[in-house]
Structure 1
């Protein structure tokens, strides 16, 4: 079975018993990934904010939902 690539450097990643940094190939790549999360380079999409943006009219004013 081929080894999975490291998500940072693409080198083959040894299985967990041989590598405590799994799924990364090394502690360095694990730290690079953490730094990217802390630096907000990775983001989880906010579906609710996207839906609210879609509901705005073209003039930028929120629509009124009068009953």
Structure 2
């Protein structure tokens, strides 16, 4: 998910570092994601929009001056 400069990315499902050249990938909303296994790729494809919205909410919380509480809606 978060690309590094050395060709290694983090799997958005499990968080493991993966070498981009040797891993499965998927493109979603003009962004390429890399996965450690076929299982993680399939899970991402089933839940891509939900994961993307969670990432956007976390980014918004970083820039918010108010206290943010996480919970289930």
TM-score with structure 2 setting the length? 0.41
Q: Who wins on radius of gyration, i.e. which is larger? A: 1
Higher strand proportion (structure 1 or 2): 2
Higher relative contact order (CA 8 A, sep 6+): 2
